[in-house]
Amino acid sequence: MNEQIIFAKRPAGMPETDTFRFEKIAMPEVKEGEVVVQTLYLSNERIHCG
């Protein structure tokens, strides 16, 4: 299973629990010439907000 964090809505101020949605989906089939990567760390710094 693949766990996804979905950005559900743009926050007004600090993000709250309903800002993100968590879902689990089946992994898609990997075709020839494709690869699967796993994200270990993801950062979202305040400077990225514009």
* Per-residue H/E/C for the chain: CEEEEEECCCCCCCCCHHHEEEEEECCCCCCCCCCCCCCCCCCCCHHHCC
Q: Evaluate if residue 50 carries a pLDDT over 70.
A: no
Q: Each residue of 31-42: pLDDT tens digit?
A: 999 998 888 998
Our count of domains for the chain comes to 1
Give me the domain span that covers residue 12.
1-26
Q: pTM of whole model > 0.85? A: no
Residue 38 lies in a domain: no
Cα 3 from Cα 47, distance rounded (Å): 26
Whole-number average pLDDT of the chain:
86
Residue 2 lies in a domain: yes
Of residues 30 and 28, more confidence is placed in 30
pLDDT exceeds cutoff 80 at 16? yes
Q: Residue 20 falls within a domain, yes or no?
A: yes
Q: Is 17 a domain residue?
A: yes
| Between residues 5 and 46, the one the model is more confident about | 5
